[in-house]
Amino acid sequence: MHLCVLGAGVIGVTSAYRLLQDGHQVTLIDAAPQAGHGTSFGNGAQLSYSYVAPLADPSIWSHWAHYLFSADSPLTLRPQIESAQWRWLLSFLGACNARQVKSTTIALLRLAFHSRDEMNRLQKNSNIEFSHRVAGKLVLYSDAEGLQSARRQVDFQAQFGCKQEVIDLQRCLEIEPALAGAQRTWAGGVYTPSEAVGDCAQFCQGLVDTMQQNTAFRFLSATTIQRPVMQQGRIQSVQTSAGKIEADAFVLAIGSESVVFAQQAGVRLPLYPLKGYSITVPLDDTSSQQAAPQVSITDLSRKIVYARLDNRLRVAGRVELVGRDRSIPARAIGELQEGVRTLFPGSLGNKNDHNGNDSASRLSPWTGFRPATPSGVPIVGASPIDNLYLNLGQGALGWTLACGSAAVLAAKIGGYRSAIDDAPFRYQP
Ligand SMILES: Cc1cc2nc3c(=O)[nH]c(=O)nc-3n(C[C@H](O)[C@H](O)[C@H](O)COP(=O)(O)OP(=O)(O)OC[C@H]3O[C@@H](n4cnc5c(N)ncnc54)[C@H](O)[C@@H]3O)c2cc1C
């Protein structure tokens, strides 16, 4: 079958790879000149297979005032005229209950573990360099109450095969000695030795290079997808800036932009873009390298993640519901810099400007939009249109869930049984 995969972010690229492996002919299309240049570009770099609890959580009900009104809140809501934001928010609040969180966590853990297996398989069959490393992950809790509720989550997840330890401050410092320079303290943490890191953009480009060696694959870069061309309830072709592209079936994977294309085909998607930011600190001398962590760190109180990619430290955070505003305010980048200064002060080196600030440009400030469903469960598989398949809505976990989502999609398209139950990921009108 000839499949056309729309979007060469990590979701589209892994879908294309998996479909090619199944013997299909694949055309991959993206507006950017290279793969992985959308939200997959500067993300937090964490392959967070055991840390999948959704954003929609019952604690939102007791913390909403802090999230919405506090100056140091990691979350921003800027009301938009569009009704999509309000519809999404209402569904999101509806998902903030213990029963939904439990079923979402179980579904995502299964998908994440499947993803890890698929990633291991992919790495055995290809030779892509993307700073991949099983670094372990340490989530820091600032108070004893938070740590106690983390213990309950660790116990719950243990029955699904997660190997995690709840540890005290002293053990945190043993696991990640770079935390010894931190200018604040915390109650303890949850350590997961099996978690990994990797540069998602490098992975996407490497995987496309690998696929280029297969004559059944072609990549149409710098090609904007404009709309579906419908014929008798099916997609006959997609209209692009390079003309019409025909295929037997289409996979929609253009991240949070998928909503408009789906709407043009008559399919409604419950997706909203959740904006976030990152910086990448170059660790270009021995002292900054020593001061930066080797283990992935999540500072839960500030909702900032830190991942070491060779001699770079990727730092990411914030969740903003602000529509499609692509600006990068100095305040957001300042928060990430301040986070680094507090936890790993020496890693920023001495290259400050005349005001003593780390010049922002050397930190590659970046913003991206997590394509999020209200519950946090992605949509993978068939759509109401006969020859349109969906692989979207991986939200804050797209890098982690990509290889597993691609395998579930390929099974659906190929008509064979997926290694995990795909029921939680099916499109629901
Ligand atoms: C701040 C931040 C930190 C994150 N950290 C992590 C993390 O640590 N771990 C993790 O697992 N996930 C993380 N994520 C989430 C992850 O990055 C996303 O879930 C993932 O990148 C989504 O991939 P995608 O392929 O769906 O979308 P994208 O990467 O956005 O890909 C969509 C592609 O479609 C293309 N496109 C869009 N419209 C068109 C069009 N009209 N025509 C042609 N092409 C088009 C774009 O150019 C783009 O390449 C983070 C996200 C953010 C914002």
Task: Give the 3-state secondary structure of residue 299.
Answer: strand
From the number of C-beta atoms within 10 Å of its C-beta (0-12, 13-18, 19+), residue 38 rates as buried
Indicate the top mutation candidate among 14, 17, 40 to test ligand 1's pocket, ranked by most ligand atoms within 8 A of CB.
Answer: 40
Query: Nearest C-alpha to atom 4 of ligand 1 is from which residue?
Result: 43
Q: What's the one-letter identity of residue 350?
A: N
* Cα–Cα distance measured from residue 151 to residue 323, given in angstroms and rounded to the nearest whole number: 36
* 218, 28 contact by CB (below 8 A): yes
pLDDT of residue 78: 80
Output the CA 256–ligand 1 centroid distance in Å. 8
Which atom of ligand 1 lies at the shortest distance from residue 240's CA? 42
Give the position, in ligand 1's atom list, of the atom nearest the Cα of 11. Answer: 25
pLDDT (0 to 100) of residue 65: 65
| Dihedral sign from CA coordinates of 359, 287, 276, 76 | negative
CA distance 418 to 173: 42
**Alpha-carbon span 193 to 132, nearest angstrom:** 15
Contacts of 347 (CB under 8 A, 6+ apart): 178, 281, 283, 288, 289, 291, 292, 313, 340
> Closest by alpha carbon to 294, among 392, 210, 197, 359?
197
* Rounded Cα–Cα distance for residues 146 and 188 (Å): 9
- 31 alpha-carbon distance from chain centroid: 20
Instruction: Report how far ligand 1's centroid is from the alpha carbon of 30 (Å).
Output: 12
Question: Could you identify the atom of ligand 1 that is nearest to the CA of residue 316?
Answer: 1
Please name the residue whose Cα sits nearest to atom 16 of ligand 1.
Answer: 398
CA–centroid distance, 12 to ligand 1, in Å, is: 10
CB under 6 Å to ligand 1: residues? Answer: 7-12, 29-32, 37-40, 43-46, 48, 224-225, 253-255, 257, 276-278, 305, 316, 368, 370-371, 392, 394-400
Nearest CA to ligand 1 atom 3: 43
Q: Whose CA is nearest to atom 8 of ligand 1?
A: 44
Q: What's residue 55's pLDDT?
A: 84
pLDDT at 351: 56
Name the residue among 102, 100, 80, 99 with its Cα closest to residue 89.
80
Atom 25 (ligand 1): residue with closest C-alpha?
A: 9
Tokens encoding 155: 């116990």
Kindly give, in sequence order, each residue whose CB lies less than 8 Å from that of residue 343, ignoring residues fewer than 6 positions away: 179, 182, 183, 184, 297, 299, 306
Q: How many residues does the chain have?
A: 429
Q: Are 36 and 201 in contact (CB under 8 A)?
A: yes
CB 324 within 8 A of CB 273: yes
Per-residue pLDDT in tens (0 to 9) along the chain, 429 residues: 999 999 999 999 999 999 999 999 999 999 999 999 999 999 999 999 999 988 887 877 777 766 666 666 777 778 777 888 989 999 999 999 999 999 999 999 999 999 999 999 999 999 999 999 999 999 999 999 999 999 999 999 999 999 999 999 999 999 999 999 999 899 999 999 999 999 999 999 999 999 999 999 999 999 999 999 999 999 999 999 999 999 999 999 999 999 999 999 999 999 999 999 999 999 999 999 999 999 999 999 899 999 999 999 999 999 999 999 999 999 999 999 999 999 999 998 865 554 555 567 799 999 999 999 999 999 999 999 999 999 999 999 999 999 999 999 999 999 999 999 999 999 998
What pLDDT was estimated at residue 63? 72
- What 8-state DSSP symbol labels residue 245? E
Instruction: Identify the three-state secondary structure at position 306.
Output: strand
Res 354: pLDDT: 47
The pTM (predicted TM-score) of the whole model is 0.96
Backbone angles phi, psi at 278, to 5 degrees: -145, 160
Q: Among all chains, which residue has been given the structure tokens 């400030």?
A: 365
Candidate from 370, 379, 392, 425 with most ligand 1 atoms within 8 A of CB, to mutate: 370
Supply the angle between the helices 144-158 and 98-125 in degrees, to the nearest 10.
Answer: 60
- Report pLDDT for 56: 83
DSSP state letters, 326-379: ----HHHHHHHHHHHHHH-GGGGTT-B-TTSPBPGGGG--EEEEEEE-SSS--E
**Among candidates 387, 388, 372, 383, which has minimal Cα distance to 427?**
383
Q: How far is the CA of 374 from the centre of ligand 1 (A)?
A: 17
Task: Tell me what pLDDT residue 69 has.
Answer: 64
pLDDT, residue 252, reads: 98
Which residues have CB under 8 Å from 401's CB, separation 6+? 108, 111, 112, 115, 378, 394
CA of residue 257 to ligand 1 center, whole Å: 10
Residue of 383, 381, 390, 374 whose CA lies nearest to 429: 383
Cα(128) to ligand 1 centroid in Å equals 20
